[in-house]
């Protein structure tokens, strides 16, 4: 079965990911039911499963309406109190989607929220609001150390992993990344490519893990050379990767 993954737009800049195989489709983080219902109807698809990454309203807001209409498995984090979940998940659990002939490994990724999980499989990472293209989620509930650890866990995935995050924040993130390191050649190249996609009104997501490792300042905190550059610019005072990450996250909050 050929499987494809593509976004539905919701709200100002959210992506609801559709994982489609034949006439079946799963959706990830349906913050709004309307675009999902419209799409299922227009494409005559059967909804097979719903996957949730964390408890924020713009990721779960469509659940009451979707679960009223479809009796399908709803997967989400065990460390949350989300209504409508039928299966709760923890680190290392495997989610099987038999209608799509797919399975995903669950990775707990606290930081943005404490309940946050990601789904990894088939070269795809559905990472919600943890890792963004050239950025990362805000620290709403967790600590900088937690989010840094979650991001490094993702960074250890294969270079060709496609990163499906939940928002179109890329150009703004690149603007910040350039303020941090305007000499990063892959970043400058990326800016041109992503700006061209946005000019055509195309999503910049998914991105590739290799590109994130090379250009995302929040992942690059793990590199000694990157921290040396931050020290030279007086952004940090020592060589601690978590403190470097926390400093950049705090700067980005005000950027």
* Binding positions for Zn ion, rule: CB under 5 A: 56, 129
Distances in Å between the alpha carbon of 2 and those of 19, 24, 49, 158, 165? Answer: 11, 11, 17, 22, 22
Give the whole-angstrom CA distance, residue 240 versus residue 254.
Answer: 22
Least distance (Å) between residue 65 CB and Zn ion: 20
Phi, psi of 83 (to 5 degrees): -70, 160
Phi, psi of 199 (to 5 degrees): -65, -30
Q: Which is nearer to Zn ion, 138 or 178 (CB)?
A: 138
Least distance (Å) between residue 53 CB and Zn ion: 8
Q: Which is nearer to Zn ion, 132 or 226 (CB)?
A: 132
CA 209 to centroid of chain Cα atoms: 11
Q: Which is nearer to Zn ion, 12 or 199 (CB)?
A: 12
Burial grade of 173 (CB within 10 A; 0-12, 13-18, 19 or more): buried
Least distance (Å) between residue 52 CB and Zn ion: 11
Least distance (Å) between residue 137 CB and Zn ion: 6
Least distance (Å) between residue 167 CB and Zn ion: 9
> Around Cβ 239, how many Cβ atoms within 10 Å?
12
Q: Which is nearer to Zn ion, 24 or 80 (CB)?
A: 80
Burial grade of 36 (CB within 10 A; 0-12, 13-18, 19 or more): buried
Q: Which is nearer to Zn ion, 115 or 129 (CB)?
A: 129
């Amino acid at each position: 079965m050929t499987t494809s993954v593509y976004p539905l737009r919701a709200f100002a800049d959210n992506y609801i990911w559709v994982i489609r195989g034949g006439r079946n489709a799963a959706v990830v983080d349906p913050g709004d039911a309307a675009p999902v219902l419209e799409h299922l109807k227009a494409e005559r698809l059967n909804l097979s499963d719903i996957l949730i990454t964390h408890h924020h309203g713009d990721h779960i807001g469509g659940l009451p309406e979707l679960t009223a209409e479809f009796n399908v498995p709803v997967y989400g984090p065990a460390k949350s109190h989300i209504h409508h979940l039928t299966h709760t998940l923890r680190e290392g659990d495997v989610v099987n989607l038999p209608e799509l002939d797919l399975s995903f490994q669950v990775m707990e990724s606290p930081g943005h929220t404490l309940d946050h999980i990601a789904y990894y499989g088939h070269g795809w990472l559905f990472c919600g609001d943890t890792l963004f293209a050239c950025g990362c989620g805000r620290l709403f509930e967790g600590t900088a150390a937690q989010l840094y650890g979650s991001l490094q866990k993702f960074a250890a995935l294969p270079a060709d992993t496609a990163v499906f995050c939940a928002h179109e924040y890329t150009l703004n993130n690149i603007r910040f990344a350039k303020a941090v390191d305007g000499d990063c050649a892959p970043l400058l190249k990326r800016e041109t490519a992503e700006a061209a996609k946005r000019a055509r009104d195309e999503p910049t997501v998914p991105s590739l893990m290799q590109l994130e490792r090379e250009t995302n300042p929040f992942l690059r905190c793990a590199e000694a050379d990157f921290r040396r550059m931050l020290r030279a610019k007086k952004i940090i005072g020592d060589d601690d990767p978590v403190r470097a990450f926390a400093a950049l996250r705090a700067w980005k909050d005000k950027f």
